[in-house]
Amino acid sequence: MTRSGGCQCGAVRYEAVGEPQHHAVCHCADCRASAGAPLVAWMAIAEDQVRVTRGQTTTYVGKTGARRQFCPGCGTGLFYTNAEMLPGIIDIQSATLDTAADEVPGAQIQVAERLPWIDDLTALHRFERYPGQ
Ligand SMILES: [Zn+2]
Ligand SMILES: [Zn+2]
């Protein structure tokens, strides 16, 4: 199967072929800081099965040698690689896939670092759009 995806502004597009090795929602502080969001979903695929088909990413190299690639124009996070910890693997921020709604994660990881209120998220009142509408 070939999946495609890209950033918010459309400058960067990519394709991933084959089946993912895993797909998980990560609660770690590093992902949180990078995304500016409570959690990030990642789909792991063999590095040679993913290619950028349009544009170019910019890379931020973190303390642990982790490389986070994002669109230089709009800032959307796209890929994570860590040659030491995850050799041969590229993690795709799966919410950037065109098929994101159909890609159900199989697990939650780094739960030890989660924001404490995340456990009660489903108990919060839900508005289809915004309050008062
Ligand atoms: Zn972009
Ligand atoms: Zn993480």
- Summarize pLDDT for 53-102 with one digit per residue, the tens: 999 999 999 988 899 999 999 999 999 999 999 999 999 999 999 999 99
Which ligand places an atom closest to the C-alpha of 31?
2
Q: How far does the centroid of ligand 2 lie from the alpha carbon of residue 62, in Å? A: 12
Q: Which two tokens stand for residue 132?
A: 């008062």
- Measure the CA–CA gap between 110 and 28, rounded to whole angstroms: 5
Q: Which amino acid is at 79?
A: F
Q: How far does the centroid of ligand 1 lie from the alpha carbon of residue 35, in Å? A: 14
Pairing state between β 58-61 and 67-70: antiparallel
Q: How far does the centroid of ligand 2 lie from the alpha carbon of residue 111, in Å? A: 10
Domains and CATH numbers, the chain: 2-119 (2.170.150.70)
- Summarize pLDDT for 99-109 with one digit per residue, the tens: 999 999 999 99
CB 14 within 8 A of CB 6: yes
Q: How many residues in total does the chain contain?
A: 133
- Summarize pLDDT for 8-22 with one digit per residue, the tens: 999 999 999 999 999
**43 pLDDT higher than 80:** yes
The model's pTM is: 0.95
